[in-house]
A and B are shown apart, each in its own frame.
Chain A
Amino acid sequence: MKRVVESDVCIIGAGITAAMVAERLAERTSASITVIEAGGRTASLAERTRTRARMLAYGENPYPNDHIRDQTGTGAMYRQMVVGGSAMHWGGAIPRYSPEDFRIRSLYGVGFDWPISWDDIEPYYQEAEERIGAAGEQGPPDCDPRSRPYPMPPLPLSYNLARMREWTDEAGIPFWTQPWARNTEPYRGRNVCQRCDTCAVCPTGAKYTPDFAFDQLLAAGRIDLFDRTLVRRLTLDPGSDRIALAEAADRDSPDDPVEFRAGTFVIAAGHAWSSHLLLLSANSRFPDGLANRTGNVGRYMTGHWYMSGYIDLPMRLYPGVFANNSLLSHRFASPGPLDRYLRHDLRLWESNVGRAPRLTNDDGRLLWGDEIMADWRARTASGATARIRAYYDVIPDRESRLTLDRANTNALGDPMPRIDYRAADATIDLEPHTLGTIRGRFEELARAGGGAVRSTRTSRLFEHPGGGCRMGDDPVTSVVDRRGRTHDHENLFVVGAPTIVSSGCANGTLTFCALSLMAAEEIGKEGLR
């Protein structure tokens, strides 16, 4: 039997961007809000002490039932599909993008300008930081601008990071503490960080995860949450381009379809599943998918690449004290005028690479008992290893695409997404310069500390991915406007990662949240109660 659920706003997805939209609308309007999530609930806070222990001991997934077996695609994408989304597992790094990210075409003649500026998004960065609970240190204002202080003081440096910061100061490159979604003070009913060093699963609740927000909204009676409910397609109003309903399958009762009717629909399903839903929703008037009149849905999939390395340093550190804190520099994300385009961040962590206990020595001889300990001590007594990584900006290409994979369907017969990422020629052409310059900076840093680069590697995984529904003022080249409203459907919004124009050179979550709040403000003007 078909069920019909009606609300003012229907949010599809229950990850961090959905939490932002739901929370803001719940606070500032009296609209009825429905949130739909394909996945179920995973380990509650009370269960995370146990699942953490098993993760440490056995490497087990600390979030049981966090995915749907037949709901998965091909290409780099998150596996999680659960209330809270991929931000259940995140480490909680929440840097902002740099002002330059929003106008690299104007400044450097490459890539694309966003339709919004830094000044447009800055208040929403602050709001997102306050909703999440950001603990951060103000970096040099010229490469870490902000209008107001962080809501909480930064995580304290560990002994190891303090020694490493002395080294980076010596090198003349400013580093400061990574901003984190981890409490350094009691915040919104959640605990203070206990430095458990397993931030993927925080047993104290000090790390923000979206389930906290949903639980509070549910307790206040401000949302209805339908989990284990898979939205399969959006359907238009007869005779108009407005969205009338979302057709869904209750995973516990798949023969009984659910119809969600609402005045406004918000797709908050992340970088892969947002475009996927629009493509799945093709109909006779939009044969290539909803919001896809100009063929841009699923295009300009983006993310950043990186070079990482290990640096040997002549100092004694104690790896294991707090490996989940790190130092950050945005000096080279805000580089000023450039002859050739290159923008990147720098991150530094403690590491035990090259200094872990081992079974055989450099000659391949088997070590026993005290020999293992003596060998280990000899490699840690006066030397330490730092891990370094530079995310660099990758220019997205129009042919970097998410498509429907007809050869891979779920149990309902719906094709799953396939992502074939591609960087623009400009990024490929610049790559030798990019990697050579970054390697040189690693070496310069190492020399300043009397050390040496032990090894480097490069990655073309499109990290912190986004795109597929990019924003723009011109419908010919974009899917949504600057507030996330689709050009083709006045009551359909896409929020967060899919709407980004480029992914800069910093973790993207805070930007996805800020964009979602900008959209939520617009949605709130829709004549909602």
Chain B
Amino acid sequence: MPVPLPGGTLRAVAEAVLPGELAAEGRERAVAAFERWSEGLEPVAELSHPYLVPEVRYSGPDPRPGWVAQLEGLEKECESRYGKGFGDLDVPARRGMLARPLGQAGPGLGSPASAAHVALALMAHFYTSPVATDLCYGRVIAKQQCRGLEGALGEPAALAGGGGP
């Protein structure tokens, strides 16, 4: 079993990097989904074969020990700098601490499994999710969800609760 990610710090990170419009409930769903995904991650797994490429590709080594260390490091640095926990900082201060590791990344979010920092992994996991896509467009696109052929021509329905431009 992988070592669990420190949940309190992870949630404090989520508050800094996920959209505020998710509110606490939506944010908690996003973090829980990331935790489930992280628990299911298998290091050095065989990946889908690219088209007409005879070499077999594998995913990278386990990123989770590094992510755990990063979250523990945030707490330790916070304690040293401010004498309090990461979650006790206000959101701008948390972003200030995350800006340095995230500043190495971009412009794209990449894939969560190859993210060098846990904050980026969380962001990549959420922003590439069907939930985030629906929120962006304000429509029930429900990507990757199986559905029948009927109604294919219709414009996706408006998302209950808003979202979109």
What B residues does A194 contact at CB under 8 A? 146-149
Bound-state Cα–Cα, A182 to B15, Å: 43
B136 contacts the other chain (CB 8 A): yes
A232 contacts the other chain (CB 8 A): no
What A residues does B132 contact at CB under 8 A? 357, 373
Q: How far is the CB of A89 from chain B (nearest CB, A)?
A: 7
Asked if A56 meets B49 with Cβ closer than 8 Å, knowing A321-B156, A358-B107, A373-B21, the reply is no
Of A57, A73, A89, A322, which is within 8 A of B40 by CB?
Answer: A57
Interface string of B54-67 (1 = CB under 8 A from A): 11100100000000
Chain A binder among B3-11, B68-76, B82-90, B95-103: B95-103
A192 contacts the other chain (CB 8 A): yes
Closest to B137 in A: A318
Q: How far is the CB of A20 from chain B (nearest CB, A)?
A: 22
What A residues does B118 contact at CB under 8 A? none
Chain B binder among A195-203, A249-257, A387-395: A195-203
Interface string of B133-148 (1 = CB under 8 A from A): 1011101011111111
Asked if A198 meets B45 with Cβ closer than 8 Å, knowing A322-B152, A377-B165, the reply is no
Within A448-505, the residues touching B (CB, 8 Å) are: 461-463, 465
Q: How far is the CB of A166 from chain B (nearest CB, A)?
A: 12
What B residues does A318 contact at CB under 8 A? 137, 139, 141, 155-156
Within B5-28, the residues touching A (CB, 8 Å) are: 16-21
**Interface residue SS majority, chain B:** loop
Contact assessment for B136 and A373 in the assembled complex, using a CB-CB cutoff below 8 Å:
yes
Closest to B40 in A: A57
A32 contacts the other chain (CB 8 A): no
What A residues does B111 contact at CB under 8 A? 59
Closest to A184 in B: B149
Closest to A59 in B: B47
A376 contacts the other chain (CB 8 A): yes
Within A134-181, the residues touching B (CB, 8 Å) are: 155-159, 162
Contact assessment for A80 and B49 in the assembled complex, using a CB-CB cutoff below 8 Å:
yes
What A residues does B46 contact at CB under 8 A? 60-61, 64
What B residues does A360 contact at CB under 8 A? 106-107
Interface string of A361-381 (1 = CB under 8 A from B): 100101011101100111011
Asked if A370 meets B19 with Cβ closer than 8 Å, knowing A156-B152, A158-B152, the reply is yes
Q: How far is the CB of B57 from chain A (nearest CB, A)?
A: 9
What B residues does A73 contact at CB under 8 A? 54
What are 10 residue pairs bridging A and B, where the CB atoms are less than 8 Å apart in the complex?
A: A184-B149, A197-B143, A356-B128, A364-B106, A369-B19, A370-B19, A373-B19, A373-B21, A377-B165, A465-B52
Beyond the given A195-B149, A370-B20, please list 8 additional residue pairs across the A-B interface where CB-CB is below 8 A.
A56-B144, A58-B45, A61-B46, A89-B48, A162-B153, A320-B144, A359-B102, A364-B107
- A residues near B, CB below 8 A? 54-62, 64, 66-67, 72-80, 89, 155-159, 162, 184, 192-198, 200, 203-204, 318-322, 356-361, 364, 366, 368-370, 372-373, 376-378, 380-381, 461-463, 465
10 nearest A-B pairs in the assembled complex, by CB-CB distance: A320-B143, A360-B106, A359-B106, A156-B152, A357-B127, A381-B165, A194-B146, A196-B146, A76-B52, A373-B19
